[in-house]
Structure 1
Amino acid sequence: MTTPTLEQFLEDVKNHELTIVKNDGVFRHLKFSNPNDCNQYFNITTSPNYLVITGDMGSLVFSRLYDMFDFFRSDNLKINPDYWAEKIQSTSHEAQIASYSKFDLEQAKKNAQEDLNTYLGDNDDLSEEDRASLLEDFELEILRSEDEYEIVEAIRNFNFKGFEFDEFYWDGCRVYSYSYIWLCYAIVWGIKKFDKVHKKLKRKNKQKRRKNKQKRKAKAK
C-alpha cells in the first residue's frame, strides 16, 4: 500500500467534526471524528513540550517545542515526515524507527540490484560464464525472496567467488508507513481546524465582553 496523498487524507476526513474537550493554553484535548462513523477518528492532546496523537490510525508522541502547535502548524497543510520522525519519542531507537516506517521487500531487491550492477560495472573483466552464474544465483536467492526474513537471510549469506553484500544499507530498505503519513496530515489539518474555531471563539468572547461592558456603563448612568 502506498502512502496517502493530501487529497486522499482530505477525503477520509471530509465529514470529521472537531470537539474541544480541553483548551487551556498549551493544555489541549481535541477530538476529531465523523458523528456517524468512528472509522479513522483521532485525538490530539498537548502539554508543555509534547503532542500526542491517538486513534484509529495509530498513536505517536512528539516533542520539540513548548507549544507543539507552533512546531507543526501549516496553513497549506504541508508536512515534513523526515524531520518530524526525528522528534518521535519511543522506548528505543529501533522502536522509534518501527513507529513510522516499514520494511519494503521491493525496495530491498532494488537496492541489491543496484549494488550488483555497481559490482559488475567495476569488474568488466569477469568471464561471461561467471557473470551468467552470478546473475542466476542472484535471481534464485534474492529476487525470488517472498518476504523480509527470506531476503535478509539471502543478502547476508550471499557469496559468489568473493562477491558479498557486506556493505548493504539496510535502512535504505524502509519506507514510510501509510499510517505515519496519514497521522502527519491529521496533525496539520487538526491544528488548522482548531485555529479556525479558536479564532471565532475569541472573536465572539471579545464581542460578548464589549457588550457586557456597554451594559455596565448604561446601568451606571
Structure 2
Amino acid sequence: MTQPTLEQFLNDVKNHELTIHQNNGVYRHLTFANPNDCDKYFNITTFPNYLVITGDMGALVFSRLHDMFNFFRSDDLKINPDYWAEKIQSASYQGKIESYSEFDTDEVKRCAQEYLDDFLEQNMLSELDKEELLEEFDSEILHSEDEYEIVEAIRNFDCHGFDFEEFWKGDYRKYRYHYIWLCYAIVWGIKKFDEVSHNG
C-alpha cells in the first residue's frame, strides 16, 4: 500500500469534528470524529513529555518535550516522519521499528534486479549460463511473495558465480501507511485545536 498524501488524509477527515474532553495546560484529551460514523476517528491525549494518539488507524506514543504540541505544531501541516519516528516509545527497539515501518518486498526485488544487472555487465557469461541465471533469478527472487520467502531466497542464491553476499547493506523498509496517516492526524488535530482555542 502506498503512503497517504496530505490530500488523501484531508479527504478522510473532511467531516471530522473536534470534541475537547479535557484541556488543562499540557493535560489534554481530544477526539476527532465524524458524528455520523466512527471511520478513521482518532484521539489525541497529552500529559507532560508525552503525546498519545489512538483510534481507528492505530496507536502511537511519542515523547520529546514538556508540551508535545510544541514539538509537532505545523500550521502548513508539514510532517517529519524520520525525526518523529525516533521519538516513538516502545517496549523494544524492534517493536519501535515495526510500529512505523515495514519490509518492502518490491524495493528488495528492484534492488536485487539492479544487483544482478551490475553483475551481468561486469562478468562475461555464456548465453546458456546467462539464460540459466536469469531463469533461476526469476523463479527464486522475483516470484517470492513475502519477506520470509525473499530473504531466504537471497540468502541461499548461488548460480554461475552470482550471489547476494554484499546485498543486505541497504535498508529495505518503508513507512507504514498508518504511520504517515497518524503523523498527518497529529499536525491537523493540533491545528484544529489551536483554531478553537484561539477563537474561544
TM-score tier (shorter): over 0.9
Equivalent residue number for residue 104 of structure 2: 104
Matches of residues 83-122 of structure 1 in structure 2 within 5 Å?
83-122=83-122
Distance 1:186 1:121 in 2: 47
1:133-185 deviations in Å (ceiling 9; x for gaps): 22221111111112222111101111124432122237632211111111000
- Kept in 2: contact 1:9–1:185 (CA 8 A): yes
User: Are 1:153 and 2:149 an aligned pair?
Assistant: no
Instruction: Give secondary structure in 1 for the equivalent of 2:166.
Output: coil
Matches within 5 A, 1:59-208: 59-123=59-123, 125-169=124-168, 172-201=171-200
TM-score, normalized by length of structure 1? 0.85
Question: Within 1, Cα distance between the matches of 2:91 and 2:154?
Answer: 29
Secondary structure in 2 aligned to 1:38? Answer: coil
Percent identical pairs in the alignment equals 69
- Cα distance in 2 for residues equivalent to 1:13 and 1:171: 36
- CA shift, 1:33, in A, is 0.6
Distance 2:169 2:2 in 1: 20
Higher Rg of the two aligned structures: 1
Listed as ranges, the gaps of 5+ residues in structure 1 are 202-221
**Counterpart AA for 2:42:** F
1:209 alignment counterpart: none
The answer as to whether partners of 1:156 and 1:165 remain within 8 angstroms in 2 is: yes
Deviation digits for residues 177-206 of structure 1, max 9, x if unmatched? Answer: 1111110000000000000111112xxxxx
SS of 1:187 mapped into structure 2: helix
What is the CA distance between 1:66 and its match in structure 2?
Answer: 1.5
Q: What residue is the counterpart of 2:12 in the other structure?
A: 12
Greater shift, 26-35 or 153-162, is seen at 153-162
Q: Is the 8 A contact 1:111 1:173 kept in 2?
A: no
CA distance in 2: counterparts of 1:30 and 1:68, whole angstroms: 14
SS of 2:14 mapped into structure 1: coil
What TM-score do you get using the length of structure 2 for normalisation? 0.94
Q: The residue matched to 1:169 in structure 2 has which SS? A: helix
Higher helix proportion, which one?
1
